[in-house]
Structures are given as structure tokens and as C-alpha cells.
Amino acid sequence: PWKCIHMLSPETIAEADGTEKPGLDPSDNVVFIIDDDICTRCQLCVDRCPTGVIILGKAGAPSSTGNDHTRTNNHGYGYGMRF
């Protein structure tokens, strides 16, 4: 599981271009990527995440009234949401 999580600079990810940085300290400006092809679903990252924003689960169908952030514990990872 150690090779499935990568810490990257936001500048290396096209989708992160122009996004707000999380803090004033440049060392805070990183993006964590979980490689789904290598991940074994061991949940080590979920258990050790200091901010509790990594969850193991499957995003449900989108709500007709907007995104209600509903997740189940079937499979897949979500990042950046606290419940």
C-alpha cells in the first residue's frame, strides 16, 4: 500500500490550475493522489489521515436537488469531505 499514495505539487496537475492554495506556508500546498490501480483497499490512509478527509466508500447517485455528498462503504475513495 505504500506506493499507492503520491504527494504532488498543485502545479503538476492541470485540474488544480488556478485553485486556491490551502495556506500561506508553501509546504502546505500539496495534493495527495491515491492510485486506484495500485490501492489494495487496506484503509491505512483512512485510519492515519490526520484531518479525517479520506473516506472509503462509493458516491451515491447525484441528488436531483444538488450534491448531498452521500457515500456508502462499498468501494472507492473520496477525498476532501468531512461527515
Q: What is the pLDDT of residue 75?
A: 46
Number of domains in the chain: 1
User: What beta strand segments (E) does the chain contain?
Assistant: 5-8, 31-34, 54-59, 71-79
Domain that holds residue 27: 5-79
Predicted confidence pLDDT, tens digits, the chain (83 residues): 568 888 887 777 777 677 776 667 767 677 778 888 888 888 888 888 877 777 776 555 555 555 455 544 444 555 554 43
Q: Output the pLDDT for position 82.
A: 42
